[in-house]
Structure 1
Amino acid sequence: MADMTRMTSIEQLNSAVQATEDQPLLLFKHSTRCPISAHAYQEMNDYLHNSPNEHIKYGIIYVVEDRPVSNEAAERLGVKHESPQVILVQKGMPTWHTSHTDITRYTLANTLCES
């Protein structure tokens, strides 16, 4: 089982992105006020509890509670903000992202097994 680390500061986000030189990072941008995001959160947890790629680090950004971090992620990675959203970061660059109902345990497993 893998866990998601909550990103609560821009410094923490920047450090996590820099660390992708050695290990990929999957960022999950989650809104606690959205039912679609609640479903995506469940799908993400199902993926993490069943057969996650252990070579990837997993982070979560609460887009309402930690808005500056969410905005910085969109700006730094050049990926238009959506929530829910997942962004795979490798060597400091986004290499894949998807959002909303496309975030499923199956999509995650199929995409991340190759990373």
Structure 2
Amino acid sequence: MSTPWLPLTQPEQITDLAQASHERPVLIFKHSTSCSISAAAKSKIERQWANSGLTNVPIYYLDLLRFRPLSAQIAEQFGVRHESPQLLLIQDGKCRYDASHMGIRLSDVSDRVMKD
């Protein structure tokens, strides 16, 4: 099973996913297509996705080079510092998990989702 990336390209999607997170958790992966560390983190997510326990959680993909202003909107709306790569778990309209670089672990996200 491949990772069901949902492209994050419009500011209103951030508002919509924040609203949707009151019903079920939502993930956002911020990726720099020019960064090898970001590519490695994306690949790690893709390899682990099928066994992560998160396959029912929507995962949005933000291409930072094409849509940089959306990263600033995410940072402001959810109170997180911009990093790349970065994985955010949004639940009940708030960021409940934030990891970057090689600290991104789907098992940590899964534990958080199962706990809440």
State the identity %.
Answer: 35
Residue in 2 aligned with 1:88? 89
Please give the residue correspondences for 1:1-115 in structure 2 after superposition, counting only pairs within 5 Å.
1=1, 2-103=3-104, 107-115=105-113
Give the ranges of 4+ consecutive aligned residues of structure 1 lying more than 3 Å apart after TM superposition.
49-52
What TM-score comes out, normalization by structure 1 length? 0.89
Aligned-residue CA RMSD (Å)? 1.5
Return the letter of the residue paired with 2:44. Answer: E
C-alpha contact (below 8 Å) 1:62/1:70 kept by paired residues: no
Q: Which runs of 5+ in 2 are unaligned?
A: none
What runs of 5+ residues in structure 1 fail to find an aligned partner?
none
Q: Counterparts of 2:101 and 2:53 in 1: how far apart (Å)?
A: 20
Using the alignment, how far apart are the partners of 2:109 and 2:16 within structure 1?
24
Alpha-carbon separation, structure 1, partners of 2:73 and 2:82 = 10
Calculate the TM-score normalised by the size of structure 2: 0.88
